[in-house]
């Protein structure tokens, strides 16, 4: 092949790659599942089913560990005044979510997720009161994920740096993103994590972290972006790989229209 032809092929490939990079659309993650819809509630099994039904890349959910070692899916540290990490599962199991469902165990949630191929399970490990408890919840989550063979379907996030680092040590191939917004992409890569999942204000303060992440291959997720205007702004911002939103259907429509 002549060098001129090779050059043409090379330029074509570079342009094709550049266009993919520039126009790559962010993935949609439903924050606490798709709950702003009929019959749903935050972190309910229904919210997971509804996130999958509208074609979300993933459904995010929060996990606490009870004192007797049962991981449960719930956002707040307390449910009806009971502190989850100090309660037994028996003390929690009859408490209901806003849509009438009982508080789900992680096992129930993941089991439903295993039937919803195509929707990633974005598992947030809530920061517990001690490092030992953080390690215990990581172990319990990994046991369940392995038991249900969901290693490739599960991605982890946490505000606890210790939980992230411990998880990485236990499961080196897992996708793990840190939530707290105070570590640069370079340092995230150094400690072995795969992504940053930061509040949108962090990227307003550190716009350079978008380019830096792209260069380092650190995945960028932004939370929690809601409403048509803000979603459109972040959907068009170069360097955002994932948007976590309470309005996944609105974001899905924005992305469809811009294609
Ligand atoms: Mg969460």
Q: CATH no. for residue 134? A: 3.20.20.190
Residue ranges with CB less than 5 Å from ion ligand 1: 62, 124
CA of 208 to the centre of ligand 1 (A): 25
Q: State the Cα–Cα distance between residues 52 and 233, nearest whole angstrom.
A: 24
Distances (CA, A) of 174 to 156, 166, 216, 221: 8, 12, 17, 16
Q: State the Cα–Cα distance between residues 123 and 65, nearest whole angstrom.
A: 13
The predicted pLDDT at position 259 comes to: 79
CA of 75 to the centre of ligand 1 (A): 7
On whether the CB atoms of residues 243 and 27 are closer than 8 A, the answer is: yes
What global pTM score does this model have? 0.91
Q: What is the extent of the structural domain holding 31?
A: 25-258
Task: Name the one residue in this structure whose structure tokens are 């849509």.
Answer: 99
Q: State the Cα–Cα distance between residues 237 and 48, nearest whole angstrom.
A: 27
CA of 62 to the centre of ligand 1 (A): 5
CA of 71 to the centre of ligand 1 (A): 15
Maximum distance among all Cα pairs of the chain, rounded to whole angstroms = 75
CA of 14 to the centre of ligand 1 (A): 38
The predicted pLDDT at position 138 comes to: 98
CA of 134 to the centre of ligand 1 (A): 16
Distances (CA, A) of 99 to 10, 38, 46, 166, 171: 56, 9, 9, 35, 35
CA of 4 to the centre of ligand 1 (A): 53
74: helix, strand or coil: coil
CA of 13 to the centre of ligand 1 (A): 39
In a domain, 213, yes or no: yes
In a domain, 18, yes or no: no
In a domain, 229, yes or no: yes
The predicted pLDDT at position 258 comes to: 87
- Strand 175-178 versus strand 195-199 pairing type: parallel
In a domain, 137, yes or no: yes
Positive or negative: CA dihedral 170, 137, 46, 221? negative
DSSP state, residue 105: B
Distances (CA, A) of 89 to 74, 123, 157, 219: 13, 19, 23, 35
CA of 60 to the centre of ligand 1 (A): 6
In a domain, 14, yes or no: no
Nearest-CA neighbor of 84 among 135, 123, 133, 122? Answer: 133
In a domain, 12, yes or no: no
CA of 181 to the centre of ligand 1 (A): 14
Report the domain count for the chain: 1
In a domain, 104, yes or no: yes
The predicted pLDDT at position 11 comes to: 57
In a domain, 84, yes or no: yes
Q: How does pLDDT run along the chain (259 residues), one tens digit per residue?
A: 566 676 666 656 554 554 444 457 999 999 999 999 999 999 999 999 999 999 999 999 999 999 999 999 999 999 999 999 999 999 999 999 999 999 999 999 999 999 999 999 999 999 999 999 999 999 999 999 999 999 999 999 999 999 999 999 999 999 999 999 999 999 999 999 999 999 999 999 999 999 999 999 999 999 999 999 999 999 999 999 999 999 999 999 999 998 7
In 101-202, at which residue ranges do the beta strands (DSSP E only) sit?
120-125, 154-158, 175-178, 195-199
């Amino acid at each position: 092949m002549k060098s001129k032809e090779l050059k043409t092929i090379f330029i074509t490939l570079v342009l094709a790659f550049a266009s993919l990079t520039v126009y790559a659309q962010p993935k949609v993650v439903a924050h606490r599942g798709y709950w702003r819809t009929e019959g749903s509630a935050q972190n309910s099994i229904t919210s997971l089913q509804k996130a999958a039904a509208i074609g979300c890349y993933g459904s995010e959910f929060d996990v606490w560990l009870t004192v007797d070692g049962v991981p449960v899916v719930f956002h707040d540290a307390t449910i009806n005044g009971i502190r989850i990490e100090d309660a037994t599962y028996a003390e929690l199991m009859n408490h209901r979510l806003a849509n009438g469902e009982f508080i789900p165990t992680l096992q129930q949630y993941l089991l439903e997720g295993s039937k919803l191929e195509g929707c990633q399970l974005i598992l947030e490990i809530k920061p517990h009161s001690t490092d030992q408890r953080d390690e215990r919840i990581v172990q319990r989550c990994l046991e369940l994920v392995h038991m249900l063979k969901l290693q490739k379907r599960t991605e982890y996030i946490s505000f606890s740096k210790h939980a992230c680092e411990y998880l990485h040590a236990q499961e080196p191939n897992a996708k793990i993103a840190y939530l707290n917004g105070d570590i640069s992409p370079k340092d995230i890569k150094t400690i072995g994590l795969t992504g940053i999942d930061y509040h949108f204000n962090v990227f307003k303060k550190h716009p350079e972290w978008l380019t830096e992440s792209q260069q380092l291959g650190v995945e960028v997720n932004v939370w929690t972006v809601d409403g048509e205007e803000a979603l459109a702004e972040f959907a068009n911002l170069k360097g955002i790989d994932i948007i976590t939103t309470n309005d996944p259907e609105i974001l899905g429509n924005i992305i469809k229209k811009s294609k």
